[in-house]
Structure formats: C-alpha cells, structure tokens
Amino acid sequence: MVSTPAPKATTKWTLDATHTTVGFSVKHNMISNMMGGFGKFEVSVEFDEAKPENSNLEAKIDAATFSVGRERIDTEVKGAAFLDVAKFPHLTFKTKRVVLLNFRRYAVVGDLTIRDVTKEVSLDVTLSEQILDPRGNQRVGFHGEMTINRFEFGTTWANKLPSGLHVAGELVKINLDGEIMRPTDAPAGAAPAR
C-alpha cells in the first residue's frame, strides 16, 4: 500500500508592513558602509507554524521607493546604470524551497529578479518565538540576510578609485526585519486585527 504525504499545514499570514523594513548596505570607497532601503513592498506569506520549512513567500518591491536619504544618490541609483526603475519598476523574490539550518534558522532559497535578470539566491532567515499580541494576533518576527553581486544583476555603474577598487562596492548586503501575523484561530486568508 502506497501512503500519500500529509498535506502542508500552511495558512495565510499577513505582513505587518508598519513594523517591517527592507534595507541594504554597500561599501563606499571601500572604507565605509552606505545604508538605505525601500519604502514600499508587498509580501505574500503561507506559513506552517509546526514546520516552517513547508512555508512559502513571494515579495514584490517598488524599485522607485529606493532611498539612502540623499537626493543625488537616490536619483542616480534609480537611473539606467543601476536599477533603471523606468524600465523595471519592481524587484521580486519567489520561494523555491526552505531548508532548516538549525533552531529557528532557515535557508529560504528562491528566484530574485532585479532589472531583467533572475538568479537563484539563498536568504538566511531567523525566526522569533511566536507570541500573542494585545489585539489577539499571533505574531512571528523574522530577520533575513543575503549578499548579492550587483554586477550579476545588470548594473553597469563602475567608477573606480586610483587603486582600481570600485567606488560603490560590488557586493550588496540585503537585510529584512519585520513581523508576520494572523488572528488567533482565524481561517486561512483572514485579515488580522491591526
């Protein structure tokens, strides 16, 4: 007799965008880190509370909301040599698999698309304990990190120092911090109380 695997016990959770940030850091002149982030994004999360490696997420980030808080740099990065937001308005990520690394830490492997380039990347995610908030929502916090080479995603800006090193580093560290939530005993897809 052939047994069929049990269905995944995933339920739809909602990203708490008010308490979530999508940030990055990149070396400037190879001596300091310039930090910034994106102000608008959408994330769809199907979360398995008992076995998070069965979970799935998809994210869409509004490229035009890129900011380091300096108008000249923001305009330059939104231009054709970097993100080219006029042609490519979104950055996207789609999960392919989730691998348990150790206690509450997972490798979320998926396809990252920046500009017109899609590559498989691994996001290192650590989850918090699950808590019940004062409004009756179950919540889980997360911290995610990954590092990409910006030249692999079609950026061409390559000014160099006299030493030959790049003014803006090749490697970009992406950081995610935030919370997902669902009402206690709510059916899948129900909207949480805010």
State pLDDT tens for residues 106-164. Answer: 999 999 999 999 999 999 999 999 999 999 999 999 999 999 999 999 999 999 999 99
Residue spans per domain, the chain: 11-183
Q: What is the average pLDDT score of the chain?
A: 91
Q: How confident is the model at residue 67 (pLDDT cuts 50, 70, 90)?
A: very high
| Domain 11-183: CATH architecture, name and number where available | Beta Barrel (2.40)
Assess contact for 113 and 154: CB atoms under 8 A.
Answer: no
Is residue 51 over pLDDT 50? yes
pTM, to two decimals: 0.88
Positive or negative torsion for Cα 35, 77, 20, 129: negative
Instruction: Say how many C-beta atoms besides its own lie within 10 A of residue 20's C-beta.
Output: 16
